[in-house]
Chain A
Amino acid sequence: MTSTQSPFNRVVGRQMAALTARLRQYMTYSGYELIELPIMQQADLFLTKAGDQIIERLFTFERGGKEWALRPEFTAAAAHLYSRTQQPGTIVRWQFSGPTFEEDPNLWTQEYQSLSIGAEMVGVGSALADAEIMAMAAQGLSACGIDDGSLVIGHMGLLRQVLSQFDLDSRTQHFILHQLAALFNPDEGKSFVLDQLQAILYDSAMQPAEPRMMPTTTTFIGGRTQAEIERRIQQKRQRAVERERIAAALDALLDWGKVEGDAQTVLAYLQSQAKTPTVRETLNEWTDALNLLATYEIPSNRIILKPGLVRSWEYYTGFVFELYAHEQHLGGGGRYDELVQLVGGSSAVPAVGFVYYGDKLASVVPELTAHPVELRIAPDKAQDGIAVQWAQALRKRGVVVVLAEGDAHIGADGALYINQQPYALNNIEAVLLAINGVNS
């Protein structure tokens, strides 16, 4: 890995600017309006439903007694903007592009900032919306000249529903979902997760045989009442007897997580495993979205279903997906129906979105930079005024003019000389023809 991937490298920077312009234009065709979001926001916004992996890399600092962060992504900020500016139910299609930040240098660019380009659709919870986002993400790659990109698609909603069948308390479910990435990681797996849950959910001192008693002389400080403390002790005791159910839930999740393959095969298997009407209904909705992808002409051999796909951000509630091409992970996204409310909205709002990792994408797309027509006119102190007149006249016709030694000069007669051929200022069309020759 070298620093040549850095966005501050002139050549890479030009490619990234061209890529951004290309994708912006592409997303505009689907009605996605470009929005600007703050680079710096209160850290709490990003800490809500961020995975540990993200939080460890969050670039934070303190001002005025508050913790602030440089944005690590756009989705939470977009959800926050929606909660502040839109009525629940309003449908928005937003696109964004710009730098995102992390505390450690990006492995790819060796810089603390990366380029993110993406889109969010808030206010719609349909299969059509899911398909639109996935198709736009996949076909955006084609718009940049990558025709062999693939989509790996999972479903956090299904995993949540599988988990909910085990009648565990909401906090236990929360912690298990938090550990999903570890559960599906062969190096960690079930025993690792059970150890983690052991430490978090119950401890040896909380066995039912050893009830803890509140001393009668206790002074209650620290914002918690006796009832709250006793309720938590009760919850921990309850969990101690739930261990077998937790282990069974992890087994069920592992069963779903190990499946991977083409959509038809995987969906058929999952339908056979579905035990509740809710799971079957979610599977049907997922199937609808996947069928629509075919209508979008996404080839079925470019789609891999992987129900155990877990993304770094924990706000996903429905389908999730990742984009791959040239052996690079180029982006991803999914549905996050709870985030708007979590970051301040008055009610839950369905939402879906995706992001491209701009730096990686810029490195694998073919050369995108469209060089504008450029002319260099040599300055000459005696003719500077005329050189500026020529420059302004040509710039108005879309020509990039640099006043520097190069292609042309101003003669003593005030004419512009290109390849020894003089051109008069009142014959700009002839100059344009000549310039195209210079640039070709």
Chain B
Amino acid sequence: MTTQVTLALPSKGAIAEPTISFLRDSGLKIEKPNQRQYTGLMPAIPSINVLFQRVADVLYKVADGTAHIGITGYDIVQEHPHDDVLVIHPKLGFGHCSLVVAVPESWIDADTIADLMEISLDFRDDKRRNVRIATKYPFLARQFLHRHGIHHFTLVKAEGAIEAAPNLGYADIIIDLTQTGTTLRENHLKILEDGVIVESQACLIGNRRLLGADPSALASVRTLLEYIDAAQQGRGYFQIVANIHGENAQAIAHKVTQNPVTRGLQGPTIAPIIGETNNGTWHTVTIMVSQQHLLPAVEYMRSIGGTQTIVTPSRYVFLEESPTFVRLRESLK
């Protein structure tokens, strides 16, 4: 009997829409029969049901087993470590942000965490109070600060516009998420040079207990990961098809593989072109190249006589097995 796997997705917040787009671009379109309901379907994998939750609640639903898997922010997973939650895919490639320590720009004597350590002692010696830090990430903040020798501080729990806390006077510095740093600068704050606590992006998480105990659920997750991995691989590759004149396929292959960027994933595919005016010396060469090598590859193909070059993006690149699933299988052992 096939287990229905529940996939928890963020219903709102910064990564809600990008999550739906990411899945759609991976060939995993989500259908939401009723906009007012918190459930959805994934037609490409009928054994997966979708449950929409607030981004933080995605983690809790996976942790308590309500959902088998979920997509949430890596920062949230790090802030609320849970024995039953495992990170299946840490980098889905969207929702990038960093959890950082930011201090007032006016603290021109503070560039590093070591500076902050000494300033925290100054607060204690001179002001008889701890430095106050506004954050929504008390666990990561404490762990990071203690690891860097900062032991005397008071965390001010805050929701909403954390970056305004020093201006409003209820905190001295902040530990918060930032994408570009613009909001921090607008609030007269600067990030310490070594003050990045977590580099975060959207990640796929799973319930270790549920996935480990149910091969059927794991099979559905495998299908999901095949799509995600193949689409992620595909986003980075283009197929180049070019016609090249040469004595024979071997001679053309020799020329094409002289340059590392045109060797393809395994090597070029070369086929003769059949035509009345062609005496068997024209061939079609097909290779896969990574995005960063696209133009150098086209240039090289031209230089060895390539013409009528066609470039098409690849939707999926399936490897021998989904690398993410291989790692998941290992971590469940």
Using a CB–CB cutoff of 8 Å, the interface residues on chain A facing chain B are 44, 47, 50, 52, 55-56, 58, 60, 62, 65, 67, 171, 174, 178, 199-201, 203, 205-206, 212, 214-215, 218-224, 226, 228-229, 232-233, 236
| Docked complex Cα distance between A86 and B166 (Å) | 40
Judge whether B157 and A65 touch: CB under 8 Å: yes
Q: Is B288 an interface residue (CB 8 A)?
A: no
- Looking at the complex, which one of A171, A212, A218 makes contact with B109 (CB distance below 8 Å)? A212
| Docked complex Cα distance between A408 and B155 (Å) | 65
- Looking at the complex, which one of A44, A212, A223 makes contact with B152 (CB distance below 8 Å)? A44
Judge whether A67 and B107 touch: CB under 8 Å: no
| Docked complex Cα distance between A60 and B167 (Å) | 30
Q: Is B295 an interface residue (CB 8 A)?
A: no
Judge whether B146 and A200 touch: CB under 8 Å: no
Q: Is B126 an interface residue (CB 8 A)?
A: yes
Judge whether B138 and A229 touch: CB under 8 Å: no
| Docked complex Cα distance between A226 and B104 (Å) | 12
Judge whether B108 and A229 touch: CB under 8 Å: yes
Q: Shortest CB–CB separation between residue B226 and chain A, in angstroms?
A: 39
Judge whether B118 and A232 touch: CB under 8 Å: yes
- Looking at the complex, which one of A65, A203, A224, A232 makes contact with B106 (CB distance below 8 Å)? A224
| Docked complex Cα distance between A47 and B173 (Å) | 21
Judge whether B122 and A228 touch: CB under 8 Å: yes
- Looking at the complex, which one of B112, B114, B152, B172 makes contact with A222 (CB distance below 8 Å)? B172
- When distances are taken between beta carbons in the complex, the residues of chain A under 8 Å from B138 are 62
Q: Is B20 an interface residue (CB 8 A)?
A: no
| Docked complex Cα distance between A155 and B126 (Å) | 30
Q: Shortest CB–CB separation between residue B183 and chain A, in angstroms?
A: 15
Judge whether B108 and A219 touch: CB under 8 Å: no
Size bracket of the B interface? 35 or more
| Docked complex Cα distance between A17 and B155 (Å) | 40
- When distances are taken between beta carbons in the complex, the residues of chain A under 8 Å from B107 are 222, 224, 229
Q: Is B117 an interface residue (CB 8 A)?
A: yes
Q: List 24 A-B contacts (CB under 8 A).
A: A55-B146, A56-B146, A60-B142, A65-B157, A171-B121, A178-B149, A199-B114, A203-B114, A214-B108, A218-B106, A221-B104, A221-B106, A221-B166, A221-B167, A222-B103, A222-B106, A222-B172, A223-B131, A224-B104, A228-B126, A229-B106, A229-B109, A232-B119, A233-B108
Judge whether A223 and B132 touch: CB under 8 Å: yes
Q: What is the 8 Å Cβ interface bit string for chain B, positions 97-120, against chain A (1 contact, 0 not)? A: 000000111111101101101110
- A-B pairs with beta carbons under 8 A, tally: 85
Judge whether B122 and A65 touch: CB under 8 Å: no
Judge whether A67 and B142 touch: CB under 8 Å: yes
Q: Is B147 an interface residue (CB 8 A)?
A: yes
Q: Residue on B with the closest CB to A67?
A: B142
Q: Is B123 an interface residue (CB 8 A)?
A: yes
- When distances are taken between beta carbons in the complex, the residues of chain A under 8 Å from B123 are 223
| Docked complex Cα distance between A243 and B142 (Å) | 32
With A221-B188, A223-B127 as contacts: A171 and B118 at CB distance below 8 Å: yes
Q: Is B329 an interface residue (CB 8 A)?
A: no
| Docked complex Cα distance between A171 and B138 (Å) | 28
10 smallest beta-carbon distances between A and B, as pairs: A222-B104, A222-B172, A47-B151, A223-B172, A221-B166, A218-B106, A200-B114, A221-B104, A232-B109, A222-B166
Judge whether A56 and B147 touch: CB under 8 Å: yes
Which of B109, B115, B127, B151: most chain A CB closer than 10 A? B109
Which of B108, B142, B146, B169: most chain A CB closer than 10 A? B108
With A62-B138, A221-B166, A223-B172 as contacts: A233 and B109 at CB distance below 8 Å: yes
Judge whether A203 and B112 touch: CB under 8 Å: yes
Q: Shortest CB–CB separation between residue B112 and chain A, in angstroms?
A: 7
Q: Shortest CB–CB separation between residue A246 and chain B, in angstroms?
A: 15
Q: Shortest CB–CB separation between residue B162 and chain A, in angstroms?
A: 14
- When distances are taken between beta carbons in the complex, the residues of chain A under 8 Å from B119 are 224, 232
| Docked complex Cα distance between A221 and B184 (Å) | 13
| Docked complex Cα distance between A224 and B123 (Å) | 9
Q: What is the 8 Å Cβ interface bit string for chain B, positions 132-153, against chain A (1 contact, 0 not)? A: 1000001000100011010110
| Docked complex Cα distance between A233 and B108 (Å) | 8
Judge whether B106 and A220 touch: CB under 8 Å: yes
- When distances are taken between beta carbons in the complex, the residues of chain A under 8 Å from B188 are 219, 221
- When distances are taken between beta carbons in the complex, the residues of chain B under 8 Å from A50 are 151
- When distances are taken between beta carbons in the complex, the residues of chain A under 8 Å from B106 are 214, 218-222, 224, 226, 229
- When distances are taken between beta carbons in the complex, the residues of chain B under 8 Å from A221 are 104, 106, 166-167, 169, 188
Q: Residue on A with the closest CB to B130?
A: A44
- When distances are taken between beta carbons in the complex, the residues of chain B under 8 Å from A178 are 149
Q: Shortest CB–CB separation between residue B15 and chain A, in angstroms?
A: 26
Q: What is the 8 Å Cβ interface bit string for chain B, positions 155-184, against chain A (1 contact, 0 not)? A: 101000000001101001100000000000
Q: Residue on A with the closest CB to B173?
A: A222
Which of A44, A174, A201, A232: most chain B CB closer than 10 A? A232
Q: Residue on A with the closest CB to B193?
A: A203
Which of A44, A56, A229: most chain B CB closer than 10 A? A229
| Docked complex Cα distance between A200 and B173 (Å) | 19
Judge whether A52 and B152 touch: CB under 8 Å: no
- When distances are taken between beta carbons in the complex, the residues of chain A under 8 Å from B121 are 171, 174
Judge whether B122 and A232 touch: CB under 8 Å: yes
Q: Shortest CB–CB separation between residue B231 and chain A, in angstroms?
A: 40
Q: Shortest CB–CB separation between residue A54 and chain B, in angstroms?
A: 10
| Docked complex Cα distance between A8 and B131 (Å) | 41
With A200-B114, A229-B106, A232-B118 as contacts: A65 and B151 at CB distance below 8 Å: no
| Docked complex Cα distance between A56 and B150 (Å) | 11
Q: Identify 4 new A-B residue pairs, CB closer than 8 A, beyond the known A200-B149, A222-B107, A229-B109.
A: A65-B155, A199-B114, A200-B117, A223-B131
Q: Residue on B with the closest CB to A230?
A: B109
Which of B106, B118, B126, B138: most chain A CB closer than 10 A? B106
| Docked complex Cα distance between A60 and B122 (Å) | 24
Q: Shortest CB–CB separation between residue B259 and chain A, in angstroms?
A: 44
- When distances are taken between beta carbons in the complex, the residues of chain A under 8 Å from B126 are 228
- When distances are taken between beta carbons in the complex, the residues of chain B under 8 Å from A218 are 105-106, 108
| Docked complex Cα distance between A201 and B115 (Å) | 8
- When distances are taken between beta carbons in the complex, the residues of chain A under 8 Å from B117 are 200
- When distances are taken between beta carbons in the complex, the residues of chain B under 8 Å from A203 are 111-112, 114-115
Q: Residue on A with the closest CB to B113?
A: A199
Judge whether A205 and B127 touch: CB under 8 Å: no
| Docked complex Cα distance between A402 and B131 (Å) | 60
| Docked complex Cα distance between A372 and B125 (Å) | 57
Q: Residue on B with the closest CB to A197?
A: B114
- When distances are taken between beta carbons in the complex, the residues of chain B under 8 Å from A47 are 151-152
| Docked complex Cα distance between A232 and B115 (Å) | 10
Q: Shortest CB–CB separation between residue B3 and chain A, in angstroms?
A: 35
Q: Shortest CB–CB separation between residue B150 and chain A, in angstroms?
A: 10
- Looking at the complex, which one of A56, A199, A200, A212 makes contact with B108 (CB distance below 8 Å)? A212
Q: Shortest CB–CB separation between residue A216 and chain B, in angstroms?
A: 11
- When distances are taken between beta carbons in the complex, the residues of chain A under 8 Å from B122 are 228, 232
Q: Shortest CB–CB separation between residue A122 and chain B, in angstroms?
A: 24
| Docked complex Cα distance between A62 and B143 (Å) | 13
